[in-house]
Amino acid sequence: MNKTLLPALAVVAALGGGGWWYMSQGQTPATVASAQTQGNLHQIHELDMPLGNPDAPVVVVEYSSLTCPHCATFNQGPFQQIKEEFIETDQILYLKREVYFDRYGLWAAMVARCGGEQRYHGMLELIYEQQRVWAGSNDPMEVANNLRRLGRQAGMNDAELNACLEDADKALELTEFYQANAEADNIRSTPTFMINGQQYSNMPLAEFQRVLNEHLGG
């Protein structure tokens, strides 16, 4: 999925009964590198929600957009097998990093993060599973309400969800984080994977398994 990346200097949202427009003045994207780009395989940013073994010899960074159909297909299919075979067996460290092609993807990420690390990955599965439903409208209010509904399904209340969706500082922080990572790792489409510093595009499960086993020395 190739689209224009959402600029950090113009993060736009319109939620609830009102809205906000947040524009950074005189700020540049935070100096953030991927887990590989500084030569430290185990550098985990505070905004990351890591899966697997933090001391593993192989680090996978997945760059995905929550509005990307190919990303939903990957996460509902190959990723589940990768999780079972490589993540849950502590062979790899896996980092999911959101890419924001549009404001809907940013809002979805803010809802996914609203419940903290314990709810994050479960929320991602729900968001991908129902992507066609919640993101299928051209009406921003309807999309925001659809995301609130998903948040309620995960046990959050409207007060929590509204606070997360209207957090302009968090929106800017997330946007700067993704933009810096996208520039550092030359991310132009989703899903894209960095495996021990080497870039890979979307690939079938068998190919992904082969690549991971090669990096593991198998």
Type of residue numbered 178: Y
Question: Is residue 53 predicted with pLDDT exceeding 80?
Answer: yes
20 φ/ψ angles, rounded to the nearest 5 degrees: -145, 150
Tokens linked to 176: 């700067």
Q: Using one digit for the tens of pLDDT, what is the confidence trace for 10-51?
A: 444 433 333 333 333 333 333 344 444 444 455 799 999 999
pLDDT at 3: 56
pLDDT at 10: 41
Q: What is the SS3 assignment for 94?
A: strand
Type of residue numbered 111: V
Q: Using one digit for the tens of pLDDT, what is the confidence trace for 61-90?
A: 999 999 999 999 999 999 999 999 999 999
Which sequence spans correspond to the domains of the chain? 11-215
The span from the CA of 155 to the CA of 77, in Å, is 25
* Residues 114, 161 contacting (CB under 8 angstroms): yes
Average pLDDT over residues 112-128: 95
Regarding the domain delimited by 11-215, which CATH topology (the fold level of the hierarchy) does it fall under?
Glutaredoxin (3.40.30)
